[in-house]
Structure 1
């Protein structure tokens, strides 16, 4: 028999809440301006980073996303052609390009992605820094389980 504090009870509760959570997130429609862009989760991660961290280089984005710079370059090229992102020269090193969300796309992206950030801020607010780290590490381990080949 499992108690509310047991791992089995926690797993049971998570197995019930995760589909509801994912279902609710999937029902948040992209703003009209972004609907025809065929955005995948990898695009959302990139856009979230730029929204939260500001303009970044391809290498910075690749490091934070955990993918190769060529992958980021492909994503950036795709979103640049669609007018979502813009590239500019780095004033300190003209060989590098700085990637940012375009001025025209920023309001729609903020409107779409900020509710998720606010929900996480609300959920994590009662936790101290160590508890937040444990929570994030737990989600990362969960993700790694499914990423195994």
Structure 2
């Protein structure tokens, strides 16, 4: 198969993937919150990795801590996130999904993580890394 054949295949599959993702209904409990993609990435990180500090989230998301702080402030005001002191270092705050929001967020976002796990499961660690790097290169190329 040539590169053009594979590009053609990807050009067919990508819009279907995006369309399916867009059709995943936002749970009723979250509809009024006007969540943006930046919120979803942060919430996904908290679902996957559990409670984290602002610095840890910033590193995971590849953005500045001030950006994460703004998102956290927005989601905290909406009751989606809860912040608490770090018992080991009282100067730090630990961020997590609030108990009230967790069931709806889990039901909504966990499906995407599970789909990626299923898609990547048959691959070796090296092949998975290639898939991730390819997606990142594609994102950059589309953004240029």
TM-score, structure 2 as length reference: 0.97
- For the pair shown, which has the larger CA radius of gyration, 1 or 2? 1
Q: Which residue in the other structure is 1:30 paired with?
A: 26
Structure 2, unmatched stretches of 5+, are none
Dislocated runs of 4+, deviation >3 Å:
none
Find the aligned partners of 1:77 and 1:115 in 2 and give their Cα distance: 26
**3-state SS of 1:104 partner:** coil
The answer as to 2:117 corresponding to 1:121 is: yes
Taking the TM superposition and a 5 Å limit, the aligned residue runs for 1:1-149 are 5-148=1-144
1:83 alignment partner, SS class: coil
| Offset of residue 30 of structure 1 | 1.0
- Higher-RCO chain (CA-CA 8 Å, sequence separation at least 6): 2
Q: Aligned to 2:122, what secondary structure does the other structure show?
A: coil
Q: Deviations over 1:25-72 (max 9, x none)?
A: 000011110011000111000000000000000011111111111111
Tell me the TM-score normalized by structure 1.
0.94
Cα deviation digits, residues 65-97 of structure 1 (max 9, x gap): 111111111100000011000000000111110
State the Cα distance separating 1:147 from its structure 2 match.
3.1
Structure 1: stretches of 5+ with no match in the other structure: none
CA drift at 1:115: 1.1
SS of the counterpart of 1:29? coil
CA RMSD in angstroms comes to 0.8
Cα displacement string for residues 85-140 of structure 1 (whole angstroms, at most 9, x for unaligned residues) = 00000001111100000001011011001111111111111111111110111001
Q: Which range moves more in the overlay, 139-148 or 22-31?
A: 139-148
